[in-house]
Amino acid sequence: MMKSKFFAASVLALGTMAGGAFAADECGDLKVAEFNWASGELMANVDAIILEEGFGCDVELVNGGTNTLFASMNEKGEPQIAPELWTNAVREPLAKAVEDGHMIKLLDGPITGLGEGWWVTPSFAAEHPELDTVEKLIEHPELFPYSEDKSKGAFMGCPAGWGCQPANANMFRAFDMEAKGWVLVDPGSAAGLEGSIAKAAEREQPWFGYYWNPTAVIGKYKLVPLAFETEWAGSENWDGCIVKSESECMDPKPSSWTKSEVSTVVTTDVPDIAPAGVLDYLKARVFPGEVMNEMLVYMTDNQAIGEDAAYEFLAKHEEVWTQWVTPEVAEKVKDAL
């Protein structure tokens, strides 16, 4: 049931605009997933501002990690919108949710230039150009001494609870890295992971671990991705084992990193809550990678939260976001800035 204030606004708009305006202006309550990394926060807040100011929706942001928020969407039907869902970690349950009619993949690639994998600091890459693949590098743990045990090499994985955590843990096992002298380090948080990179890069020290692009960290510190000599071992290994918990992946096979897939996903009740224009906006909303990296560096340099960065983006990049909405919606958003 739509809220009375939106109903009243729609009736008023109906009297002043062309036919079809009623459906275009009416919106209800929407919960948007605010994923707990910088681009996830920025995208969620941009969506919230445009949906509220441009379409009259009542938006609540729900913060969390990939697995937690996806599980909530799948089991409870909310949040209803996931702007930046990295689907490699939830490929099988997402496919089932789409097949069962619980979710809709509206947009593949909401940011251009996306990718994830294993990276090293640029100083290390320059000093050891011969170690340009994962397979070559993991034979030399002595080059990445672990702070708590210098006899071991440190591989920086993902914080517990992140969708990438089991994938990195299982890849670590697949390449038998413990036996080669490595320790899988849990950075504890996004700040811990970013801090480990910043410290190593600024001191021109070696660092080896997982990260993704586009991000302020990649853009600022110029991390170098490592290629895999091993070919991708297939969906059965990746989706059926690598991205699952260790208890569900007893025998992971070595593999290159799967191609990153990121989508904007909504629950199937969104068309009942929001007008068609909202879905059109979400389908069109693609951030150029270079603009996203610029905004992420802005967030880091200014310690800006997602909401602040969203207003900065909307103010500085009209040429981007006005292409996602109608001129009428764009004017409403501009008036609210």
Residue ranges, comma separated, of all CATH 3.40.190.100 domains in the chain are 115-241
Rounded to the nearest 10°, the torsion over CA 33, 39, 44, 49 is 170
* pLDDT at res. 155: 99
Furthest-apart CA pair in the chain: how many Å? 76
Which DSSP string do the residues of 113-124 spell out, in sequence order?
Answer: T-EEEEEE-HHH
Residues of the chain with pLDDT under 70: 1-25
Residue ranges, comma separated, of all CATH 3.40.190.10 domains in the chain are 29-112+261-336
* pLDDT at res. 166: 96
Domain 115-241 carries which CATH code?
3.40.190.100
Distances (CA, A) of 249 to 165, 244, 260: 13, 6, 20
Q: C-alpha angle with apex 44: 41 to 46, nearest 5 degrees?
A: 105
- Euclidean distance between CA atoms 68 and 78, whole angstroms: 11
Query: What is the per-residue pLDDT across 286-297, written as a single tens digit (0 to 9) for each?
Result: 999 889 988 998
* pLDDT at res. 98: 97
Structure token digits, residue 132 = 């340009």
Structure token digits, residue 43 = 């995208």
- Asked if the bond preceding 79 is cis, omega within 30° of 0, the reply is yes
* pLDDT at res. 169: 98
Identify the CATH assignment for 29-112+261-336 out of 3.40.50.720, 3.40.190.10, 3.90.226.10, 2.40.30.260.
3.40.190.10
* pLDDT at res. 25: 55
